[in-house]
Amino acid sequence: MLVKIVCFVCLAGIALAQPVPLEVVPVAGEVVQEDRPCVQVSWPEGSLSGARSRLWVNGKEVTADCLRSGNFLSFRPHKAPPPGPMEVRFTSADSKGVEIEKQWTFQLSPPAWIKELKHNGQVDLFEDDELEVSFRAPAKGKASFQVGKLNAVEMSEKEPGLYTGSWKVLTSDNALGVPLVVRYRRADHQEEAVAAEAVKIFGGFYRVKVLSPPDGSEVEQSFVLTGRARPGSRVSVVPKVGFSGVQAPTTNSNAVGSTGGSIPAEVDELGDFKVEYGLPLLLPGMQVVMSIYAIDPDGNRSMPTVVRYRFK
């Protein structure tokens, strides 16, 4: 009978031993939408040794940077960590010197500062074309964009919160299906974003650039087309006139009313050219589609440039 009583007392003593309850913020698995999240561990007053309490975040001990008291540790990073999992480890000892440890993970997913990212590189860009990029983010930041291994391009703040930049395609630039990345920095916040559509740059090819009238414009019965190509090139403009989407070759050339299927033009030493074009007779609903080519002094033929105009 005595043996049974002793065993009962021993078992009762074991049952009275309880783990120290810990409260953690953020909790395991929580998604936190902050740049610099606050990590905190708290416990009942007197249950743990504050002097022996230590904290690690993503494998780095941050105890020295914590706010602390007799019943909590609190840490906020000086700089915004990258988005993703945040692994936290806490160790301490209770009033009897028994060591305890707790580990957990939460997700850091701050809202993006970079918004409305746009570029014109989803269409084919050739030599001398301009790659134009823009996005919105808080004002007074620093911004740049980069395509693959090409040089990064600094962007300027065109208006508060609107960042723009451009890059003139060189003969040596080639980037087919390469992602465009923008980077933004303000104070201790750094962020980058990848454009939804990749860039298509063909620097080894070139094409005629039409300056005016802009593609898709309404034009008079007679108008002057101006553009740029490699200096010394010969330009050929092949117009097709039609109604309601059906085109047929026209016989107009440089002078209004003259004949010829292709309109020639010479490119000056600055790379400029102009072509006079007009119709002897204008009917309602007429439109013209022009295919424009150039052959440079070395015999290299450009890619075609196609423009469409509606007559007034």
CATH 2.60.40.1220 domain position(s) in the chain: 20-108
Domain 20-108 has CATH 3.40.190.10: no
Report how far residue 128's alpha carbon sits from residue 106's, in angstroms, rounded to the nearest whole number: 49
How many other C-beta atoms lie within 10 A of the C-beta of residue 312? 10
Instruction: Map residue 9 onto helix, strand or coil.
Output: helix
Instruction: Map residue 10 onto helix, strand or coil.
Output: helix
CATH number of 115-205: 2.60.40.1930
CATH 2.60.40.2550 domain position(s) in the chain: 208-311
Whole-prediction pTM: 0.61
Q: What is the overall mean pLDDT for the chain?
A: 87
> What pLDDT does residue 7 have?
38
Q: Are 193 and 185 in contact (CB under 8 A)?
A: no
CATH number of 208-311: 2.60.40.2550
Task: Note the pLDDT tens digit of each residue in 48-96.
Answer: 998 899 999 999 999 999 999 989 999 999 988 888 999 999 999 998 8
Q: Are 135 and 182 in contact (CB under 8 A)?
A: yes
Alpha helices (H) in the chain, listed in sequence order: 2-16
CATH 2.60.40.1930 domain position(s) in the chain: 115-205
